[in-house]
Amino acid sequence: MYLQTRQLQCYPLSSSKEMKAGEPKAAPVIITPSAGVISFPEMARLGNGVPVYLIDKGTVDLMRIECVFQAGQIMEEVHLSALSASAMLTEGTRSYDAATINDLIDSTGAALYHLADKDTASLLTITLTRKLDEVLALAREVLFRPSFPDHEFRLLTDRRIQAFLTSRQKTSVIAREAFYEALCGAENPYGRIARESDYRSLTTGDLRRFHQKHYLPLNMYITVAGRYPEQTLPLLEKHFGINGRDGSGRPVRPILHFATARPVKIFCEIPGSVQSTVRLGWDGITRNHPDYQGLQVATTILGGYFGSRLMRNIREEKGYTYGIHAVAGSFREKGYIVIMTDVANEYREAAVKEIKKEIRILCEDEVTDEEMTLVRNHLMGETARMFDGPFTIAETVRGIIDHETGHDYYNRFTETIRSITPGKIKELFNTYFNIDEAFEIIAGAR
């Protein structure tokens, strides 16, 4: 078991004597709950060295198996080739066309999802245990033997261009892209913005070359989550324990060059938009930085839960928005801090003013013990939920593996939650939330 919760009791501060009528009641002792004992899952290796992480906390005969590759956008030589190669995996292989693949998926009752982001790509499979052999055979086929048929590629490209053009009217999309471009640089894969011409110039040859270079067993790890995950090892060995193709080792992750991050104000006009997206952000730190976990607590106080400073001010008191959020996040090679909200066009300047006001307060005044207790309890609960069940554990474990944060990352995080002081919170705000160095991005109508 990977998480054990503790039953908590609160005891009055007074003595055990019976309290007399009319005597004031003593306040209860406030105890920060524990997220329990958090353990990293057992790891096995297939015959060809592929790591397999076994997460055993299931109660039904259902398995979640994810094959993860270092094949995200940072590995691209041709823009959009990573996302497109992932999207085409189930559109045809050397043995099956797309219709047959869909029929095979339906006949097993399984679900297959192909996913790709900035750093990685993966194939996620959820299946009944008794169908595991059939489903893993199909997963191997789509991962290592895709044919990238021209007809399906043209259909996919047309759909993606239509979705891209539609997204040009969404203020949230435009503001997000402008923020990452300003933070990382227009030529950096974290900041590069896709153009319609990128979709039209992409070819199936680009996808084949990307796939051949990056979809290798030696560039992969597997997570298995469910009841008795060790029973999958013989089948994983059968289907993934040998090299899928001739080839050498794992592709080398490129050295990324980031533009010098300078404070900037950007307005992106979206004619006819009835609301604006506001993004206020800073250059951040990655998950291995000593301040990263404390920064998670600090941003939670500012805008990370329903009772946060920004929610109380901008939603509850001012009524400018339905929601506002502050996040300290990280790609593998780049960290960021960002505050995000959608407001009516007439409120966007006022919203930015109030955001800055709340940051100044946190830079000047220490957080009260009462607020710290509330935030500690919230974060402990959120951490416990991340380890509640095998599927959520698998998602959490992926973050540890992909960012190489160390197996004890969440044990260290819970200790940070318990021990961080109001003084340290104030120090973090003064270090990372310099208003004069902020990126201010607004997307909306003039």
Whether the CB-CB separation of 2 and 387 falls below 8 Å is answered with yes
Q: Which residues pair with 340 in a beta bridge?
A: 279, 325
Query: C-alpha dihedral over 156, 159, 164, 169, to 10 degrees?
Result: -170
Residues 52 and 155 in one domain: yes
> 56 and 120 in one domain?
yes
| Residue that terminates a domain, selected from 240, 255, 275 | 240
Read off the CATH number of the domain in which 293 is found. Answer: 3.30.830.10
Structure tokens at 305: 């839960």
If asked whether residues 125 and 216 sit together in one domain, one would say yes
Q: How many CB atoms lie within 10 A of CB 173?
A: 17
How many separate domains does the chain show?
Answer: 2
E strand or H helix at 336, and its extent? strand 335-344
- Residues 203 and 273 grouped into a single domain: no
Instruction: Tell me the pTM.
Output: 0.88
Which two tokens mark 239? 């289907």
CA–CA separation, 112 and 341 (whole Å): 33
CA–CA gap between residue 435 and residue 364 (Å, rounded): 13
Burial 255-264 (b: 16+ CB within 10 A, else e): ebeeeebeee
- Residue 121 in domain: yes
**Cα gap 311→373, rounded to integer Å:** 18
Residues 6+ apart with CB under 8 A from 146: 85, 88, 89, 91, 92, 93, 211
The answer as to whether 29 is a domain residue is: no
Same domain, 299 and 173: no
272 with 350, same domain: the answer is yes
In a domain, 338, yes or no: yes
The whole-angstrom separation of Cα 94 and Cα 202 is 21
Round to whole Å and give the CA distance between 162 and 257.
31
Residue 312 is given by DSSP the state I
Mean pLDDT (10-residue bins), the chain, 446 residues: 36 41 54 68 94 90 96 96 97 96 96 96 96 97 97 97 96 97 94 96 98 95 96 96 62 86 90 96 96 98 96 96 96 97 96 98 97 97 93 95 95 96 98 96 96
- Domain-located, residue 31: no
Question: Do 276 and 376 have their domain in common?
Answer: yes
Q: Do residue 227 and residue 304 come from a single domain?
A: no
Q: Are residues 359 and 396 in the same domain?
A: yes
pLDDT score recorded for residue 3: 37
Domain boundary among 208, 240, 272: 240
Question: 227 and 156 in one domain?
Answer: yes
Residues 342 and 391 in one domain: yes
Is residue 32, in this structure, part of any structural domain at all? Answer: no
Q: Which domain holds residue 194?
A: 42-240
The answer to whether residue 20 sits within a structural domain is no
